[in-house]
Structure 1
Amino acid sequence: MNKIKFVIIGAGNIGSKYVSLLNELPDSELIAVVDSNFGRRKFIDKLVPFFTSLEDFFTSKIQADVICICTPNGLHPSQTIDCLNAGYHVICEKPVALKADDVLKMMEAEKISGKKVFAVMQNRYSPVAIWLKKLMSLKLVGEIRLLQINCFWNRNNKYYNDSPWRATRELGGGPLYSQFSHFIDLMIWICGNPKEIRSEFFTLNKEINTQFQDSGIINFKLGKNGKGVFNFTNAAFETNIESSLTIIGSKGNVKVGGQYMEKLDFVNLEQVFEIPVFENVTKANNYTYYKGSADKHDVFLKKVIDCIKNNQEPEIGLADELNVIHFIEQAVLFAEAKSY
């Protein structure tokens, strides 16, 4: 099969990263870029056609296999559906949507089109996450008694001023969507779907003007008798502090920590289990003055290419991310109901 041909919509930070990665992968070819701001053409270090609207690209009839959606969060559902209807596979950056109903519409469009949607949750490919998934699949910690996740990050005024859409509910959504959906995805993937979600949202840094609150505490139940808590903030002083996941189980305890859940901090199990030394620590995506989640987009893109070449289903698809968006939506709705 020939190289998989890619188009990128959105030439911002993450879109530029896709340009670099696709240029390096032997089985991929970047054939076009779309961004409403023609001035961003200068950030694309490859001479390819540049369009200022998705409609103009469709009209061009340029042959492509996959469209990568790297635009503001709130645009993901409509653009995904448009691309599916036009006959393309889609890579959709996180979050795939800001509403569960929109994810369901995307799933319906995917089904009708016969094409595939690949949801970008690359943190699943970090060595520590893979090890922890295996540990939990083998039930080596027993029943989960307590799960605690801490995500303590920093997002300053420059982050929001550089791209004002990030501060809006309509296009940005807030920290659970923009920053911490990766860790919600890991939580559900590793520990299962939470139930009886209760939450409280609040703002710690009142000097930053956004349409949402920057911090919160989400309580929920897991399994038969397990309890969980998800603590988050974007108001840490100057830099990110940690993203950690701690499990207290009936047959063992484990903690994954670091700034991006890239380190194994603690493990104590009733049953002997291999505890590897993670020498190749997963790095974070570095966006000059702030850092994002795990830098595993290269692994993700290779898996997308293999999937398309072998006509396989996506490893991470819309059904997975429906669970993530549902969790966030329930937490938001509960917090808003409490405020009345």
Structure 2
Amino acid sequence: MMNFAIVGCGFIAKKHAAAIENINDAKLVAVCDPFQAAMKPYSEEYGAKEYKELDEMLKKEPFDIVCICTPSGLHASIAEQAAASGKHIILEKPIAMKMDEANRIIRAAEENNVKLAVVHPNRFRPVVRELRSILDSGVLGTISHANCIVNWNRNQEYYDQAPWRGTKEHDGGVLMNQAIHNLDLLLWFMGQPEEVYSMEATRLRDIEAEDVSTGIIRFESGALATVQASTTVYPSNFEESITIFGENGTVKIGGKNALYFEHLEIEGFAEDKISTIKNKINADPWGTPGHEWIISDMVQAVINDRQPAITGRDGRNALQLVLAFYESATINKPIHIHKGEFVWEHFYNQQASLMS
């Protein structure tokens, strides 16, 4: 039996608690939040002990794994404390708001020999896993390019729920808070990015960060991808999709939540085979909830002393891509990415001038 604690009892913590409850060898024993009213549902429904202070919970409560569900800007300091106390960590996306914070979290986990998982639950959707299987099989041949779209609605009331929402310090905009899941999938499907160029705007929402973003990615393979993301669509979520274009096939997963194959055409795949694949997905499009997958996987990672399915480095890669988009939009130049850090395009131009 693995005992769990949750830090931060806002909306997303409900998914963690429900997932823990559904796993036989997991139990929620404690919650931590500065607001006692936020903890009440967890103490009443799950019998979790309430702690207003993280230090007190870490010292007094015997548990194995902590789920960190606080505003993103607080992730680094909390994760470092948890790691120093020997607690394995499940960290809500994004892993952090800055690369140095992400590196601190990863380093703290490694130095204290604890497991670190980042919550990117879309990887466990049935249609996503099927698409990954198709890509792994090689039947699409060389990938030419991909399209990634997240056209959603988050109205002003959503951002007004808490003062940290939509801020650059603790939340970010549509890329950091919504589309980062889809960027994680692009990395999972397409590999290491090499260069990005982006534009962004804050068009309709009264927030610090962007509510609309468009961008282009060049991957090390030579494949390209376009990214379009927004929270300004009227009146509700319109589309979440990823399309992969290969020399031997075209595959699109889409709908309002990227749950179905909207297009599946692959050389050598007969109609009955395609229908079988689509029908399997349509029968259970959500599958086991992603948070349940991640929490169950962490339990097994601890028991078997292996890495979680989605590691801290995976989380850092997704953050790196978002920050590269932000940097490009700020300086209006392409950004080069080099496995762990990104470098401004104009830096290369300056160096070239000095050497000529």
Q: With structure 1 as the length reference, what TM-score do the two structures score?
A: 0.91
Provide the residue aligned with 2:2 in structure 1: 4
- Cα separation, 2, equivalents of 1:246 and 1:24: 33
2: distance between equivalents of 1:109 and 1:224?
Answer: 33
Does the residue aligned with 1:330 lie in a helix, a strand or coil? helix
1:23 is matched with which residue: 3, 21, 24? 21
Gaps of 5+ in 2: 334-356
> What does residue 210 of structure 1 align with?
207
Q: Deviation at 1:56?
A: 1.8
Partner of residue 133, structure 2: 134
Higher helix share: 2
Partner of 2:256: 259
* Partner SS for 2:106: helix
Question: Contact between 1:262 and 1:281, CA under 8 Å: does it hold in 2?
Answer: no
Looking at structure 1, the residues matched to 41 and 33 of structure 2 have their Cα atoms a distance apart, in angstroms, of: 11
Structure 1 range deviating more: 323-332 or 270-279 = 270-279
Q: Distance in 2 between matches of 1:217 and 1:171?
A: 22
Secondary structure at 1:109 match in 2: helix
Work out whether residues 294 and 309 of structure 2, in 8 Å CA contact, stay in contact via their aligned partners in 1.
no
Does 1:238 pair with 2:235?
yes
Q: Residues 198 and 335 of structure 1 are in contact (CA less than 8 Å); yes or no, is this contact kept in structure 2?
A: yes
Aligned to 2:37: 39
Cα distance between partner residues in 1 of 2:249 and 2:282: 24
Contact in 1 for aligned 2:151/2:232 (Cα 8 Å): yes
Following superposition, the deviation at residue 147 of structure 1 comes to 0.8
**Mapped pair 1:220 → 2:217:** yes
Moved over 4 A (4+): none
Change (3 A) 1:24 1:145: closer
Segment of structure 1 superposing worse, 218-227 or 4-13: 218-227
TM-superposed CA distance for 1:252, in Å, is 1.2
Give 1:102's aligned residue.
Answer: 101
Which residues in structure 2 correspond to 1:257-336 (within 5 Å)? Answer: 257-272=254-269, 274-275=273-274, 276=277, 277=279, 278-283=281-286, 295-336=289-330
Superposed displacement of residue 25, structure 1: 2.0
Cα separation, 2, equivalents of 1:249 and 1:36? 51
Counterpart position of 2:351: none
Residue 78 of structure 1 corresponds to 77
Return the alpha-carbon distance in structure 2 between the equivalents of residues 122 and 226 of structure 1: 25
CA distance in 2, matches of 1:148, 1:92: 28
Given that residues 2 and 65 in structure 2 are in contact (C-alpha distance below 8 angstroms), is that contact kept between their aligned partners in structure 1?
Answer: yes
Partner residue of 1:51? Answer: 51
How far 1:283 sits from its partner (Å)? 4.0
- Partner Cα separation in structure 1 for residue 39 and residue 315 of structure 2: 31
Which residue in the other structure is 1:289 paired with? none
Q: 2:187 aligns to what SS in structure 1?
A: helix
- Displacement of 1:69: 0.2
Find the aligned partners of 1:155 and 1:142 in 2 and give their Cα distance.
Answer: 38
- Unaligned 5+ segments in structure 1 are 285-293
> Contact (CA 8 Å) 2:118, 2:310: kept in 1 or not?
yes
Q: Residue 160 of structure 2 aligns with which residue? A: 161
**TM-score (norm: length of structure 2):** 0.87
Name the residue aligned to 1:183: 182
Whether the 8 Å contact between 1:144 and 1:222 is mirrored in structure 2 is no
Displacement of 1:74 in angstroms is 0.9
Q: 1:151 to 1:281 in 2, by over 3 A?
A: farther
| Cα displacement (A) at 1:76 | 1.1
The total of aligned residue pairs comes to 325
**Cα distance in 2 between the residues matched to 1:282 and 1:35:** 34
Whole-angstrom distance in 1 between the partners of 2:286 and 2:34: 31
**% identity of equivalent residues:** 27
Amino acid at match of 2:122: N
Closer, same or farther in 2 for the Cα pair 1:248/1:30, shift >3 Å?
A: same
Conservation of the 8 A alpha-carbon contact between 1:6 and 1:29: yes
Paired letter, 1:11: C
| Secondary structure class of the residue paired with 1:67 | strand
Q: Does the residue aligned with 2:305 lie in a helix, a strand or coil?
A: coil
Name the aligned partner's letter for residue 115 of structure 1: V
In the alignment, residue 9 of structure 1 is paired with which amino acid?
V
CA distance in 1, matches of 2:203, 2:233: 9
Amino acid at match of 2:37: G
